[in-house]
């Protein structure tokens, strides 16, 4: 049976009803939500890794072996990294980001976990936000976990040192092989314990521990609502899998909720 537009509208209405009757709604977003802001995804059609191959899975160990060189490369990126940082640097939040901020303001979304480091959810106004893979505008101490705005850290001596504990500073973005910062991880676990309904938007749901949080909610009988252009790893576990660009589908979901609330 083809998945017609009217089926999708029905599903959006039913998903809206599910969100309104849920006790504690969370969301997990990935690269797909920033595609309409001009930032390519990593995997699948048009993905950076699809085009250039996956980066080394031991990025963090490479950083620790020669932090000065890693910093110099970060400050003067080449190849796929150059594309990432140039597109991220000039991107603006899109209707999908704004819809998640509105869902929070409507009192429905209790916590948004994003895998994106692009700062766009924050700029769209999301406050109950966990950036599980960090934020590219911040610099973090790998000893005391303190974070500083990148613009406030002098970079004439590399690697820079933490003004609080003299520990080594690194971009806040989490490298492959690097442990997720404890404050972010703790927040994800404690919020997930309260959650009974999870929106999963613009992610292939293949990277852990991020993908484990909606799975944990599904395992305890909660509901998953997916928004994705294509099927993903988690689609079979979702009660609703809404097909389309998140910048189009999310505003429709908000409109359906407002209609039901009237
Ligand atoms: N709207 C909705 N979904 C989209 C859109 C769009 N416009 N465009 C692409 N997608 C979907 C794709 O179908 C895919 O399922 O978004 C997903 C993007 O998946 P990935 O590229 O794997 O990105 P993500 O899930 O965020 O990757 C997780 O992997 O590479 C690491 O650290 C990186 O945070 C990242 C993590």
Residue 65 reports pLDDT greater than 80: yes
User: With bands split at pLDDT 50, 70 and 90, how would you rate the model's confidence at 95?
Assistant: very high
Which residue among 28, 31, 94 is best mutated to probe the pocket of ligand 1, counting the most ligand atoms within 8 A of its Cβ? 31
Q: Please write the tens of the pLDDT for every residue from 32-59.
A: 999 999 999 999 889 999 999 988 899 9
The CA distances from residue 183 to 88, 131, 142, 144, 187, in Å, are 24, 10, 13, 11, 6
- Contact, 145 vs 183, CB < 8 A? yes
Residue 2 reports pLDDT greater than 90: no
Q: Please write the tens of the pLDDT for every residue from 109-123.
A: 999 999 999 999 999
Closest CA to 119 of 129, 108, 107: 129
> Which residues form the pocket of ligand 1, taking CB atoms under 6 Å from any ligand atom?
30-32, 35-36, 41-44, 47, 115, 133, 202-204, 206-207, 227-230, 232, 245-246
User: How are the residues of the chain apportioned to helix, strand and coil, as percentages rounded to the nearest 5?
Assistant: 45, 15, 40
Rounded distance between C-alpha atoms, residue 141 and residue 193, angstroms: 28
Task: State pTM to two decimals.
Answer: 0.97
Given this model, what pLDDT does residue 227 score?
Answer: 98
**Mean pLDDT over all residues of the chain?**
96
Say how many C-beta atoms besides its own lie within 10 A of residue 53's C-beta. Answer: 9
List of E strands, 144-195: 147-149, 169-171
Which residue among 40, 202, 243 is best mutated to probe the pocket of ligand 1, counting the most ligand atoms within 8 A of its Cβ? 202
């Amino acid at each position: 049976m083809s998945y017609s537009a009217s089926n999708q509208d029905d599903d959006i209405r039913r998903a809206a009803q599910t969100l309104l009757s849920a006790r504690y709604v969370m969301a997990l977003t990935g690269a797909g939500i920033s595609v309409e802001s001009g930032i390519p995804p990593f995997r699948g059609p048009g993905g950076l890794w699809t085009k250039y191959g996956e980066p080394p899975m031991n990025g963090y160990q490479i950083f620790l072996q020669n932090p000065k060189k890693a910093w110099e490369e970060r400050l003067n990126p080449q190849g796929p990294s150059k594309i990432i940082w140039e597109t991220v640097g000039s991107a603006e939040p899109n209707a999908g980001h704004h819809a998640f901020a509105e869902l929070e303001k409507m009192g429905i979304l209790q916590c948004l976990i994003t895998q994106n480091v692009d700062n766009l959810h924050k700029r769209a106004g999301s406050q109950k936000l966990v950036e599980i893979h960090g934020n590219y505008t911040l610099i973090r101490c790998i000893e005391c976990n303190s974070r500083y705005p990148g613009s406030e850290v002098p970079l004439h001596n590399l690697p820079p040192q933490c003004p609080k504990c003299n520990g080594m500073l690194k971009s806040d973005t989490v490298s492959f092989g690097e442990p997720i910062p404890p404050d972010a991880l703790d927040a994800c676990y404690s919020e997930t314990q309260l959650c009974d309904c999870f929106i999963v938007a613009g992610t292939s749901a293949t990277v852990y521990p991020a993908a484990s949080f909606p799975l944990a909610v599904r395992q305890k009988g909660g509901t998953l609502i997916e928004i994705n252009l294509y099927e993903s790893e988690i689609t079979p576990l979702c009660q609703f899998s809404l097909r389309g660009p998140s910048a189009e589908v999310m505003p429709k979901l908000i409109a359906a909720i407002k209609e039901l609330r009237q």
